[in-house]
Amino acid sequence: MTQLVIFLQAQQGGGAWMNMVLLGGMILVFWLFMIRPQAKKAKEAKKFQENLGKGDKIVTIAGIHGTVNKMNEDGTIQLETSPGSYIKIEKSAISMEWTNNINKAAAATPAK
């Protein structure tokens, strides 16, 4: 009986090692599927915002459509929403996905 108790106690040490491996695996999976793609998307959005220029058609995260009229040094953009009507927005307020979708749709529509 004493040998059985000693044998079972010896198995507990291996279980702690296995728990550490499982915890490490969960952290790795979390990083691969959550943190890494989000960081990649943020990097692409920043690159997109830096490459904007005058005359680009954009959509803000609030759904405002317009054309870039002026890029300011303080990180803001003067956006022309209709001829002669301008608003000032932050670069971070531009939606990369919506802007790309609207520009793809405009490129796919044949000109008459």
- DSSP H helix total and E strand total for the chain: 3, 4
- Domain positions in the chain are 1-51, 53-108
Q: Which fold has domain 53-108?
A: SH3 type barrels. (2.30.30)
Residue with tokens 């956006």: 79
Between helix 36-50 and helix 96-108 the angle, nearest 10°, is: 60
Phi and psi torsions of 85, nearest 5°? -115, 120
- Residue 9 is predicted with a pLDDT of 52
Q: How confident is the model at residue 14 (pLDDT cuts 50, 70, 90)?
A: low
What does the mean pLDDT of the chain come to? 84
Q: How confident is the model at residue 82 (pLDDT cuts 50, 70, 90)?
A: very high
Q: What is the C-alpha separation between 100 and 27, in angstroms, rounded? A: 33
Q: What is the C-alpha separation between 23 and 19, in angstroms, rounded? A: 6
Higher pLDDT: 9 or 43? It is: 43
